[in-house]
Chain A
Amino acid sequence: MRFWFRKKSSCQIAKDRLKILLISDRVNCSQEMLELIKADITKVISKYMKIDTENMDIQISAKKGISSLCANIPIVDIHKQCQAAEGK
């Protein structure tokens, strides 16, 4: 049956579930909290430059006992905003 429907093997399902589960387990931080952090970071950085909030990516990774917050925030326009800030 599996062959005909090309169902994912249960082993693959287990691996996929564990990958997601362990990321949140390791950092002890839920997806909702990450969304809140993302909103706050956006607010602060938007004061100084124009950023692409659609394509920003925030993740927590934990390796060898050290957790780190990685944020990838594309900047749309840095020059204009800086000049405006200086102008003030």
Chain B
Amino acid sequence: MTKNNVIVVTSGKGGVGKTTTSANVGTGLAKLGKKVCLIDTDIGLRNLDVVMGLENRIVYNLVDVIEGNCRIKQALIKDKRHPGLYLMPSAQTRDKSAVKPGQMVKVIEHLKEQFDYIILDCPAGIEQGFQNAIAGATRALVVTTPEVSAIRDADRIIGLLEANGFEQMDLIINRLRPDMVKRGDMMSSQDVVDILAIPLIGVIPDDENVVVSTNQGEPLVGNATPAGMAYQNVVQRIEGKDVPFMNFEKSISFLAKVTGIFHRV
């Protein structure tokens, strides 16, 4: 495993798409043939399992591993759809104080030997849950939406990550609406990058297919949907490939044409 492959997905604010991003990035990397371990660190409010469609297969969880109730291997759920993809679910009936940063580091040290990537889904907030999630990570994906509240929280998170010695932080702008940007009612991805001043690794358009995929419990990365393609690009960039950013205006006009045809019929 190379140096910076323990990645925490964080945002500060809740509901901006951390879990969706974790699921899609993890699945996308597994689709490229990597061995990936997704860890849900949101203790008490676990969700990565439902987004991944693996909620019925949980036996042991992260807290069981830390308390020594089971071996690490027993808590890992293998995703049968993608070879090499595993999920370590969080505990639902406990709270954040059940885990300490030092214990997280230990678990990750163990997992590092067996996986190419470890993706940590961070809870919202900047309290202990956040400290637990970032403890073992060396790289961060900061998720934000083009809204004042989310950007403010992302800025705070970036400051905290810097203070914790993170060298590699990349920005994902989620739920961008090109039509609103065009008429001056939403900050563009460039505006957000100018404010937050960290490298951009992905722009995910606002896409209803994300809701459909969450309903089905199957991440949409790599599908022929705007968000699916955008997540696929993020995965490629994490792998170090230089992928050009999508031109949403083009895809919008294409979509508008298609829907226009249907409206006429």
A14–B162 contact, CB under 8 A? no
In the assembled complex, how far is the CB of residue A14 from the closest CB belonging to chain B, in whole angstroms? 5
Judged by DSSP, the binding face of A is helix
Pick the contact of B159 from A9, A15, A18, A65 — CB < 8 Å? A65
State A11–B180 Cα separation when bound (angstroms).
9
Interface footprint category on A: 10 to 19
B195–A19 contact, CB under 8 A? yes
Number of interface residues of B (CB under 8 A): 18
B102 within 8 A of A: no
In this complex, what residue of A is CB-closest to B196?
A22
In this complex, what residue of A is CB-closest to B163?
A65
State A51–B188 Cα separation when bound (angstroms).
44
State A27–B66 Cα separation when bound (angstroms).
37
Pick the contact of A15 from B147, B156, B183, B195 — CB < 8 Å? B195
Pick the contact of A26 from B155, B183, B184 — CB < 8 Å? B155
Pick the contact of A18 from B152, B181, B183, B186 — CB < 8 Å? B152
A22–B152 contact, CB under 8 A? yes
In the assembled complex, how far is the CB of residue B249 from the closest CB belonging to chain A, in whole angstroms? 16
- Pairs across A and B, CB under 8 Å, 14 listed: A11-B184, A11-B187, A12-B184, A14-B147, A14-B187, A15-B187, A15-B191, A18-B195, A19-B195, A22-B152, A25-B155, A25-B156, A26-B155, A65-B162
Pick the contact of B148 from A9, A12, A14, A62 — CB < 8 Å? A14
State A13–B210 Cα separation when bound (angstroms).
29
State A12–B162 Cα separation when bound (angstroms).
28
